[in-house]
Amino acid sequence: MTDQTPLWRVQLSAGPDAVEAFGAALEPLCDSVSWIADGDDIQGVWTLNAFLGVEPDRGLIAAALASAASAAGVAAPEFTIRREQPRDWLAENMKSFPPRRIGRFFIIGTRDPSPVPEGVVELRLNPGAAFGSGEHATTAGCLMAIDAFSGGQRQARVLDMGCGSGILSLGAAKSCRAQVVAADSDPKAVAVSRRNMIRNKVHRQVRTVLAHRGDCRAIRDSGPYDLIVSNILARPLRRMARTLSPNLRPGGVLVLSGFLIRDAARVAGAYRPFGLRILDRIDIDGWRTLVLVRS
């Protein structure tokens, strides 16, 4: 997932009885949908935000909301659509990329002269134009899950689906000497990830591939995997359940993130038919990381 990818926001306000109906109506049209109360009064006004990676069709959005409003017996809501400003990770990284510690991992910029504490797993990183510096709650949650997994694993097979900067691949490669496939649908992310593997001298352990789905040959041929991590968005994660799940060996661990706590049940539900049950949950600042195990 890269932050240079276009991102659109659909936003509306509604009462507590209608907001869930509107969210359900938008869910098939959007990548991620969430809503939150404005203030402490849960019986008051709620704000709904829906995000898409492509420009939304205003007519389709309006029709979906009108249908939901009619079924709920309320007026169709007004809504706004705006394109979010992309974050320039490269510029931000050059301005400030302070070292941070997450579990055993110590994340530090490639040119940062700061001393590295003893006993940590050092991840030298230049996110470039790709998502994943360890600062976001979802990245931190995934690293915590990898840290827990690596405690009892050595030379595991790992798939990082939607690798971005490659930070999760680095964590797996360094913490448990894993053989990793780092896959992304964005060529820029694949290139950034590859450079970060070389900087950290794990390029012989990590294979970077361009892939749009979990069933591409490059991914299948290196499986089955002991660990799969995917930090993207709620809707793509649900869509990938059918193609991603078969790549995980029985007893293997699947780490999913990139969504709010409110979206977690739907994400987990998509993987339940494929024999995956919840092993752990990691919540940080309203974002959830799910740790699933395949029975």
Q: Write the pLDDT tens digit of every residue in 191-236.
A: 889 999 999 999 999 999 998 777 788 899 998 999 999 998 888 8
Cα separation of 50 and 14, whole Å? Answer: 14
Residue with more model confidence, 16 or 204: 204
Q: What percent of the chain has pLDDT over 90?
A: 54
Residues 215 and 122 placed together within one structural domain of the fold: yes
What pLDDT is attached to residue 170? 94
Co-location of 127 and 75 in the same domain: no
Query: Which domain range does residue 99 map to?
Result: 89-294
Dihedral Cα 55, 57, 62, 65, nearest 10 deg: -70
% of the chain exceeding 70 in pLDDT: 89
Number of domains in the chain: 2
2 within domain boundaries: no
Residues 49 and 144 in one domain: no
Query: Region 73-99: what's the mean pLDDT?
Result: 75
Kind and range of the H or E run holding 249: strand 248-260
- In the predicted structure, residue 253 carries a pLDDT above the cut 90: yes
Contact of 179 with 155, CB cutoff 8 Å: yes
Q: Are residues 110 and 166 in the same domain?
A: yes
Supply the Cα-derived Rg of the chain in whole angstroms: 20
* Range 60-68 average pLDDT: 96
Q: What phi and psi, each to the nearest 5 degrees, are found at residue 251?
A: 85, -5
Place of tokens 């977690």: 264
pLDDT band at 92 (very low <50, low <70, confident <90, very high): low
pLDDT greater at residue 42 or residue 93: 42
Contact present, 163 and 38 (Cβ < 8 Å): no
Q: How far, in Å, CA of 284 to CA of 245, rounded?
A: 25
* The pLDDT of residue 218: 87
45 and 161 assigned to the same domain:
no
pTM recorded for the entire structure:
0.70
Average pLDDT over residues 5-9: 80
CA–CA distance, 115 with 185 (Å, rounded to integer): 35
Rounded average pLDDT over 122-144:
75
| Domain final residue, candidates 39, 55, 83 | 83
Cβ proximity of 241 and 215 under 8 Å: no
Looking at the fold, whether 70 and 95 belong to one and the same domain comes out as no
Q: Maximum CA pair distance of the chain? A: 62
pLDDT higher than 50, residue 4: yes
Q: How far, in whole angstroms, is CA 219 from its chain's centroid?
A: 18
* Residues 37, 117 within the same domain: no
Instruction: Indicate whether 188 pLDDT > 50.
Output: yes
The residue count for the chain: 295
Q: Is residue 58 part of a domain?
A: yes
Of the three residues 83, 105, 124, the one that is the final residue of a domain is 83
> Which DSSP symbol is given to 40?
S
Residues 241 and 118 in one domain: yes
Residue 11 burial (CB count, 10 A): 14
CA distances (Å), origin 189, targets 33, 65, 78, 114, 196: 25, 35, 37, 26, 11
Residues 143 and 288 reside in one and the same domain: yes
CA atoms 86, 87, 89, 94: torsion sign: positive
Query: pLDDT at position 59, please?
Result: 96
Q: Tokens 């995917």, residue? A: 230
Q: What is the CATH number of the domain that holds 102?
A: 3.40.50.150
Q: Mark whether 76 and 93 lie in a shared domain.
A: no
Is 125 inside any structural domain? yes
Contact 65, 13 (CB under 8 A): no
More confident residue, 113 or 208: 208
Q: Tell me the torsion sign for CA atoms 13, 19, 25, 29.
A: positive
* pLDDT higher than threshold 90 for residue 69: yes
Q: Please check whether residues 14 and 56 belong to one and the same domain.
A: yes
193 and 50 co-located in one domain: no
Q: Is residue 1 part of a domain?
A: no
Residue 96 pLDDT grade (very low, low, confident, very high; cuts 50, 70, 90): low
